[in-house]
Amino acid sequence: MSKIAFTDIDGTLIRDYACVDFVAYLLSKGDLDCKYYRKCHDLMGRFQNNEINYEDWVNKSIVMWGEMIEGKEENMINERSKEFFENIKCKIFPYSRELVKYLHHNGYKVIGIGAGPAEVIEPIGKYLELDAFSGTVSETENGLYTGKIKSTIHNNGGKTGIVESMLTDNVEKSIGIGDTIHDRPLLESVDVPIALNPKDGLKKVCYEMGWNVATDKDIMHRIKKLI
């Protein structure tokens, strides 16, 4: 029998949206067409103004990501992602490494799930020593990006599909950790749902469902009581 802990990445283990910051980083290096700065800014504005929902924002952002890197060298993007991670390492929450280490100590595999580009998620996952991590995978041919997206994690229900595929009869206990209302399907899929620094929408659901609520100040105390 095994134990698994699933955790969201952006906003849960690291501050802000790393994938958005990565696009800005590539633009600052002159690696992307500057027209995408305006496109990304406009799309984010539409989401923040409630003109499109979260799922539409993620889906459109990932499709645009494919367009941005079409024809770019995979090696170049991977090198940039390593440079970028060194710049954002300070945004990883102080509790993140301790939390992963404690879960490991108690026999849990820790799986990071994010819809952002795998090139961004991979260095975060390796730094935190996650057992596995999922992100959006872009298609390549002969070392160049084709502009097509191979994975489906950015689609509605994509994250939940990954969780459910891993929750087999051999799983003894499962934990889910998230911070926004968009993590609700993840939290509903596990034995022990934990809302970490929940935003208003998720906070309300937690009280309705009786879910565990933790903050960056008490997450370690809470996790030790729960497992």
Say whether pLDDT at 144 is over 90.
yes
Q: Say what the pLDDT of residue 160 is.
A: 85
How sure is the predictor about 55, in pLDDT bands with cuts at 50, 70 and 90?
confident
Q: Say what the pLDDT of residue 117 is.
A: 94
Say whether pLDDT at 200 is over 80.
no
Give the tens place of pLDDT for each residue, 59-107.
999 999 999 999 999 999 999 999 999 999 999 999 999 999 999 999 9
Give the tens place of pLDDT for each residue, 80-89.
999 999 999 9
Q: Say what the pLDDT of residue 141 is.
A: 97
Which tokens belong to 141? 């041919």
Domain of 103, CATH number, reads: 3.40.50.1000
How sure is the predictor about 152, in pLDDT bands with cuts at 50, 70 and 90?
confident
Segments forming the whole domain that contains residue 59: 2-226
How sure is the predictor about 222, in pLDDT bands with cuts at 50, 70 and 90?
very high
What total of structural domains would you count in the chain? 1
How sure is the predictor about 182, in pLDDT bands with cuts at 50, 70 and 90?
confident
Full-model pTM = 0.91
Tell me what percent of the residues of the chain surpass a pLDDT of 90: 71
- Over residues 170-178, the mean pLDDT reads 92
Q: Say what the pLDDT of residue 180 is.
A: 87
- Over residues 170-191, the mean pLDDT reads 91
Q: Say what the pLDDT of residue 132 is.
A: 95
